[in-house]
Homo-oligomer: A and B are copies of this chain.
Amino acid sequence: MSYQQIIAIDAMGGDFGPKVVIPGAANALKKLKNTKFLFFGDERQIAPILDKFPDLKEHSQVQHTDITVKSTDKPSVALRSGKGSSMRLAIESVKAGTAHGVVSAGNTGALMAMSKLLLKCLPGITRPALASVMPCQKGTTVMLDLGANLVCDAEVLTQFAVLGSVYARVVRGISAPTVGLLNVGTEEMKGHEEIRAASSILANIDFPGRYHGFIEGDDITKGTVDVVVTDGFTGNVALKTAEGVGKLSKHFLTEAFKSSPLALLGYLLSMGAIKRMKDKVDPRKYNGGMFLGLNGICVKSHGGSDVMATENAIMVAADLIRNGFNQRVAEEIENVMGQESFVSAVG
């Protein structure tokens, strides 16, 4: 049987390893056609779990290794000593063309360093960005960079805009996605030099999105744009701040419902609706950080992922592969780089 897509999985990554990775893949397989999984990790742990999922077992292959990257390893250490590790072997299978993409819940820094080193960037892309889909009032928005590059110049921010808008187009199916640059105000003179230069480039080039202009922090959840572009320092702080406020809201709401018998009764009556609301913002549904711009699909699953979260991260990788994300990026970035207004701006 020939498979349309082959996904390499670091079975040892994350807090729970094969116990959640294998069932997660089994669930993803139910939604995917012509898909094969390559699992990398400790066969003694993987095999007995895989036996419980005969369908998955039929469409997968296990490559044994005893070596794993620790969650506490520094990226530099992981690069030196991680040879033959489940994470590295999974990435290498993408490099070799044996798999189309890789999913790992392992050490983020190590995954980024290894995938950059092995897969390299797509032609025209200087640095990969960490991107993720986030809930907003109008549905979802995609945001990048979430921490891969702490300092970004105008050219890199422009590449992020291309990556994000190609994603919104080919994966989310938005024909003309709007792109906003995260800033401290929406007026032209706001922000630092890099962001103003990126704004001027985006306003003048043809790219697969429509440039909206500057946006502010609250525009992320308002859904003002389909794609939020920012440097990795700001993006990471914004993402974690958002997570924190989400938890604070939940904390206060729980406190409120517990504050009186009447409130508790109210909770019991509205429980179904509250649960549906919680489902809408369930972080597991948004699991799967994408390293966009690499010459190979690479998705980071959260370290604490359960089966459902793992399934979603695998679906994120599958969506990128199925929709030919990388091919489209390569075409679009070449198109952007050929434009006079881009060339003259980045020098």
Contacts and interface: CB of A to CB of B under 8 A. Distances in A.
A221 B234 contact: no
A230 B241 CA distance: 13
A228 to B, nearest CB: 10
Nearest to A219: B244
A237 interface: yes
Interface in A266-302: 266-274, 276-277, 280-281
Contacts of A236: 184, 216-217
Nearest to A271: B266
A244 B269 contact: no
Question: What number of copies of this chain does the assembly contain?
Answer: 2
Judged by DSSP, the binding face of A is: helix
Contacts of A136: 248
A151 B259 CA distance: 44
Interface stretch (A34-42, A54-62, A249-257): A249-257
Which among A230, A233, A272 has the greatest number of chain B C-beta atoms within 10 A?
Answer: A233
B239 A217 contact: yes
Interface in A198-252: 216-222, 230, 232-234, 236-249, 251-252
A: interface residue count bin = 35 or more
Nearest to A245: B245
A120 to B, nearest CB: 24
A281 B252 contact: yes
A263 interface: yes
Contacts of A249: 245-246, 249
Which among A182, A240, A253 has the greatest number of chain B C-beta atoms within 10 A?
Answer: A240
Given A184-B147, A220-B244, A221-B244, A272 B262 contact: yes
A150 B221 contact: no
B184 A237 contact: yes
A137 interface: yes
B256 A262 contact: no
A156 to B, nearest CB: 15
Contacts of A247: 137, 218, 221-222
11 contacts: A150-B191, A192-B233, A217-B239, A222-B244, A222-B247, A252-B277, A252-B281, A253-B277, A263-B274, A264-B270, A265-B266
